[in-house]
Structure 1
Amino acid sequence: MNITTRSNIGKRDSNQDYVSTFVNADNQTLAVLCDGMGGHNAGDIASEMAVLQLGNSWEQSDFKNKDIEAVEDWFQNHINEENKRIYDAANIFKDLQGMGTTLVAAAVFEEMTVIANIGDSRAYIIEETSITRITEDHSFANELKMTGQITEEEALTHEKRNTLTRSLGVRSEVKIDFFSFSNSGKQLLLLCSDGLTNAISEKDILSIVSKNKSDASKADELIEQALKNGATDNITVCLLELAPQSLGLEQTVEKKEGN
């Protein structure tokens, strides 16, 4: 599997995004991308804690049965452990008060991928002629859109489009959305922070990643285009090239919202 990660500070004073990939005992890959929030250096501490602690736990895991429910249970347990770790730190240390982070993570197996999501960092499946958003933003504007109170166009410019309704480490418990799909055919999985999606349309993302060039060049161009479009936030992307499968399984995406 080819994996490419890129992160750019944008026009911020610090980069509160953090992304990394990990491999467990059975050579199974986990990619985690977090977009931190909080004053001073609290946001980057929260995002780094979440990524590295979750990754460390993944490296000790082994999913021989590759069962979706087992993976979701693993995510549920370990993400909530990290939520409590960040929440407790923010309540103990005054300079970390209010810190939290989004989280989008992908557990990639030979035949399937399982996504866990909290906040407004996103996961996309990109194929030759289509782009499919897998995750739903946990933002105030998106909640209004989903209940029909505003249109999708209005949500793009809503004054509270970046106000999160769910994030890691802000409350003692956190809800997690899960999505799963088969890795049938050759697919590219994109994880990204909202610094990218606030500055570049899904249509333009598809145009860039569909080019006949290396994944590294695609990732660089995504960030360059977002900056040209006036992006001010940190911008982070992770591209995972999923191996083609020998069986032509029908692709479906299953969503399970956290309780």
Structure 2
Amino acid sequence: MTYEFFARTDCGRVRNNNEDAVAIDRDARITILADGMGGYNAGEVASAMATTFIRTEMARWLAQAGKNAPAADVRRALEICVENANHAVLGASLSNPLYAGMGTTLVVGVFRDARLILGHIGDSRCYRLRGGVLQQITRDHSWLQEQVDAGLLTPQQAAASSSRNLVTRALGVEPHVQMEVNEFQVAPDDLFLMCSDGLTDMVSDADLAEMVRAPLSLEEKATLLIDTANAHGGRDNISVLLVHMAAGGKKRGFMSRLIRTA
């Protein structure tokens, strides 16, 4: 099994600075996307701190644990790593007035053979394309999602609401952070899309599906997604992280094997 990775982040058409951050460790198969918030330039500090800390510490743990580490241990290590990143961001926020109130959303994936351990905090998302069908596999930690879950708003009303960016969880704002962690089986040709709300606020899920299904390279898909969000207004920073799993080494057919052994 072979994994391909590609990430790109863009300032958008309105913002002067980019508070999103993305990180990939190809050897450890770790992917991280964060959307920072708070204060002048503090959001980009929070997202950069979180992505750098988690990539470094999780990669170190995986190298020490080895390839046969049980999934439960990997999951627990990820939770501890994110909790430590939370303490680091919160500590910086409390010690420096310029960083007061900063925090960040988070999506982090650890790909282990044919399994994905996926954690998320806030409203940055992860989608999976399988068999031509795009499915959101994270659930937003947001005020709007709570209203939809309670039956007070329809998904269509939520999509049109001006309160889309009110998150109910963020890393670095409280002494303890609650990360939602799930595990998924990865099938050959699965494509995973992690993104900030600068993409999903500008582009519908139907349009996302059409673009990620296009016969393009990961780099071309990322460029198309970001260009489309900007064409629709680009009101926020836009980050895209793509992961594609391809089965390595196709099996030879019966006649091919027969000819080779003759």
Quick one: distance in 1 between partners of 2:54 and 2:221? Answer: 27
Q: Which has the higher helix share?
A: 2
Q: How does 1:12-23 map to 2 (within 5 A)?
A: 12-23=15-26
Q: Report the more deviating stretch, 62-71 or 163-172.
A: 62-71
Quick one: distance in 2 between partners of 1:67 and 1:135? Answer: 23
Which one of 171, 174, 177 corresponds to residue 174 of structure 1?
A: 177
1:16 partner amino acid: E
2:115 partner amino acid: M
Contact 2:58/2:78 (<8 A) preserved: no
Instruction: Note the residue ranges of structure 1 that are not aligned, 5 or more in a row.
Output: 247-259
- What is the Cα deviation at residue 96 of structure 1? 0.4
Aligned to 2:38: 38
The TM-score normalised by the length of structure 1 is 0.90
- What is the Cα deviation at residue 77 of structure 1? 0.5
Cα RMSD (Å): 1.4
Instruction: Find runs of 4+ consecutive structure 1 residues off by over 4 angstroms.
Output: none
The TM-score normalised by the length of structure 2 is 0.89
Aligned to 1:4: 6
1:10-33 deviation line (CA, Å, top 9, x unaligned)? 12010000001014xxx4310000
Question: Greater CA radius of gyration, 1 or 2?
Answer: 2
Say whether 1:229 aligns with 2:232.
yes
Quick one: distance in 1 between partners of 2:175 and 2:7? Answer: 31
The 3 A distance-change label for structure 1 pair 131 and 66 is farther
Q: Report the more deviating stretch, 152-161 or 59-68.
A: 59-68
Quick one: distance in 2 between partners of 1:244 and 1:187? Answer: 10
User: Is the partner of 1:60 in helix, strand or coil?
Assistant: helix
Aligned to 1:58: 58
Identity of aligned pairs, percent? 33
The 3 A distance-change label for structure 1 pair 106 and 159 is same
Say whether 1:47 aligns with 2:70.
no
Aligned to 1:253: none
Quick one: distance in 2 between partners of 1:211 and 1:128? Answer: 13
Say whether 1:208 aligns with 2:208.
no
Aligned to 1:147: 150
Quick one: distance in 1 between partners of 2:43 and 2:16? Answer: 12
Quick one: distance in 2 between partners of 1:219 and 1:8? Answer: 10
Q: Report the more deviating stretch, 150-159 or 41-50.
A: 150-159
- What is the Cα deviation at residue 127 of structure 1? 2.5
Aligned to 1:162: 165
Instruction: Note the residue ranges of structure 2 that are not aligned, 5 or more in a row.
Output: 250-262
Contact 1:134/1:179 (<8 A) preserved: no
